Each structure stands twice: as C-alpha cells, then as structure tokens.
C-alpha cells in the first residue's frame, strides 16, 4: 500500500515545480535520522500503526542534524544563564519548572519556524520595543517576554539613516546580563538566513485493498494533501486513510484498533472525501465520523466533507478518504506559536 501511495505521490511531484522533494517509506525503528540535507522537502510515508510514535518521529528527525545540536547547546546555555539571572533577581522562584517550560516553547517554535524563529523578536520569548527619538533615531529595547514576564535585557540606538542588522548593536542594560546578551547576539547571527528541510510525515492506511480504490480518487485526495499540507510548514504530520462504507458498517475501523490509540493523535480540522454521496446516508456519515474520532476526545464540530465530482467513479459501496493533521507534539500551525493569538 505504501509503495503505491509513494509512486502516486512521486508522479504528482514530477509534474509539480518547486523545491526538490524526496519521498521515503519508513516503518518502526527505521528512521534514518542522520540523512539530513538543507533546504529540501522530504515526505516520510509510514503505516498508521506508527502514528502513536508521531511525536518521537517528528522530533527525532528535526533535532538530529549537526547544526541543530550546536544551536541547541547554545540555546541551553542561554536558558541556564537566564534562569540563574531571573532567580537571582527574584523574577521566578521555581527555576526547574521555568527551564522545562521555556525549553518546551522553544521546541515548539523550532518545529514551526526553525531555529532562527527562536531568536526572532515577537515570538513569545523575546520582544522588541522601538521608540523614535527625533533627530537621533530609534531607541530600541530587547525584552524577555516569556510566561508573563516583560524583562528588559538590552538597548541599542539605530540612527535615522541606519538599518538594524539582526540583534547586532544591542548592549546589556546591566553588567550581569552581558554574557546572556552576547550569547543571544552570537547565536542569532549564527542561525540567521539558514535554510532548513521541510519535513512531512504522512501516516497512511487503507481499510480495504488499496488496489480496489480507484486511482483517480486516490490522486484527487493526494493532490489535496500535497497542495494544502506538504511543505507548508517546517515540520508537519498528517494522516490519510481510505475505506468504503462496508468497512465502516462491518466496524473494521474498530477491528483495526483505530478506536483505541491511533485516533487519539487525530487533530482537527478533519476532512472527509466521499467518492460519491450516493449510499452515504446521514446516519452512516455520522457513524463514520463517530468511529474516526476518539470516543472521548471531542474537538467540536470541525469536519469538512466534500464529494469527489467524477462521474467515471461509480463505486459500490461508496468510498471515503479521511485526512487530518496528526498531533506530533508540535503546534506547527498554531497562531499562538507565531504570536497571533486569537480569542474565540
């Protein structure tokens, strides 16, 4: 099954211009985590049973390259120094928890924007305030803004005809912050402009023999997944499941153990493609939705259902394809991570 999907994805990629993309199949324990390159799109196809290990797969791959390890060492050093400074200055009391919490946030940002995102002002960790001083320039202040704190770290003046160059020119506001600010600047300079792989994990399953699913229906769904998901963020995990109405009525989703563990990883928005609406009654559709979603984890009504409009397909029983983002430990599309939090 994975081979067939791989061939179809490669065929689709062949006709598509853009960044070179490789498609690889992996299964349990087979992640070649040292095969890193720069600025390439990579798709990993995995069986759905691997979806439970999605957080491990995603983070292992994203954090195994040489550059990231070096960056990680520098960031850890910055965190350690900041933690100590914040404790000394009574901004925090539980350093261990603060350390864990900010490390988590950094892992989130890294998965979404790469390591350069971590030291970009306005990301929820550091902030920048700029004030125009007439005839002088811009008086800028660099803040630590994590976890409700708003602590000034450094200042700089940018002349009216000058332009800012990353974090260069910032000077610590007190001598005990010098080492931290210097490290921030050097780390920021080291990672600026770096290109990173864009990695997508696609967890695939078919509840029926994949050869029985019309190829143009598979292609339609693959095209949708490729256009809307693949390569859109630095690291993303998605699932793709094919089936027919009989497989639902026969409760094969359940027999395939989707109900227990795998579907706990499914995240909204859930998308359902129907080969035809003929044969899908409201009841059977509701039953299908009910079986795909975990019985307890309900995200609200975040379903998008569409019919594949191709009169050449006359599947009996009608088929469906289900796709959804997978929780891999990263809020890769979260507006919270990109600093655009919303109220609903």
Cα–Cα dist 331/280, whole Å: 33
Coil/strand/helix, residue 67 = helix
Report, in Å, the least distance between residue 336 CB and another protein: 5
* CB-side neighbour CA atoms (13 Å) of 155: 9
Residues 2 and 47: beta-carbon distance below 8 Å = yes
Pick the binder of another protein from 16, 35, 84, 186 (CB under 8 A).
Answer: 35
Distance, CA of 342 to chain centre: 18
User: Could you tell me which of 256, 241, 236 has the C-alpha nearest to residue 54?
Assistant: 236
Per CB under 8 A, does 1 bind another protein? no
Given the rule CB under 8 A, which of 68-76, 219-227, 274-282, 303-311 is the region that contacts another protein? 68-76
Contact region with another protein (CB under 8 A), list: 205-213, 270-278, 293-301, 316-324: 293-301
Closer Cβ to another protein, 115 or 275, answer by number: 115
Query: How far is Cα 60 from Cα 194, in angstroms, rounded to an integer?
Result: 20
* Site for another protein contains 38 (CB under 8 A): no
d(CA 321, CA 138): 55
**Interacting residues with another protein between 86 and 105 (CB under 8 A):** 94, 96-97, 99-101, 103-104
- Contacts of another protein in 314-333 (CB under 8 A): 327, 329, 331
> Which pair of tokens denotes residue 266?
């499914």
CB of residue 79 to another protein, shortest distance in Å: 9
Distance between CA 266 and CA 299 in Å, rounded?
10
Could you list the residues that contact another protein (CB under 8 A)? 29-35, 52-53, 55-56, 59-60, 62-64, 66, 69-70, 76, 94, 96-97, 99-101, 103-104, 107, 147-148, 257, 260-261, 264-265, 267, 296-300, 327, 329, 331, 334-336, 341-344
């Amino acid at each position: 099954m994975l081979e067939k999907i791989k061939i179809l994805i490669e065929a689709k990629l062949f006709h598509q211009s853009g960044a070179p993309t490789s498609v690889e199949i992996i299964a349990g324990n087979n992640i070649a985590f040292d095969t890193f390159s720069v600025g390439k799109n990579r798709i990993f196809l995995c069986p759905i049973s691997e979806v439970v290990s999605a957080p491990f797969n995603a983070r292992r791959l994203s954090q195994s390259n040489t550059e990231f390890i070096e960056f990680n060492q520098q960031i850890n050093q910055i965190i350690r120094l900041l933690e100590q400074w914040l404790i000394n200055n009574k901004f925090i009391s539980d350093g261990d928890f603060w350390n864990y919490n900010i490390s988590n946030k950094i892992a989130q940002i890294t998965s979404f924007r790469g390591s350069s995102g971590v030291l970009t002002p306005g990301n929820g960790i550091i902030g920048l305030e700029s004030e125009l001083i007439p005839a002088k320039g811009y008086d800028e202040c660099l803040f630590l803004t994590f976890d409700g704190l708003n602590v000034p770290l450094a200042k700089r003046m940018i002349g009216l005809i000058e332009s800012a160059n990353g974090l260069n020119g910032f000077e610590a506001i007190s001598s005990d912050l010098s080492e931290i600010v210097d490290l921030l600047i050097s780390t920021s300079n080291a990672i600026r402009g770096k290109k990173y792989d864009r990695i997508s994990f696609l967890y695939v399953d078919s509840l029926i023999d994949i050869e029985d699913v019309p190829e143009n229906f598979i292609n339609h769904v693959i095209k949708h997944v490729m256009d809307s998901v693949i390569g859109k963020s630095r690291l993303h995990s998605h699932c793709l499941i094919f089936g027919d109405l009989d497989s639902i009525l026969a409760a094969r989703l359940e027999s395939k153990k989707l109900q227990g563990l795998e579907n706990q990883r499914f995240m909204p928005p859930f998308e359902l493609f129907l080969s035809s609406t003929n044969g899908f009654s409201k009841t059977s559709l509701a039953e299908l939705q009910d079986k795909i979603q975990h019985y307890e984890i309900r995200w609200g009504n975040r379903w998008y259902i569409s019919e594949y409009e191709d009169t050449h397909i006359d599947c009996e029983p009608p088929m469906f394809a289900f796709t959804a983002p997978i929780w891999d430990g990263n809020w890769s599309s979260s507006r919270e991570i990109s600093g655009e939090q919303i109220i609903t």
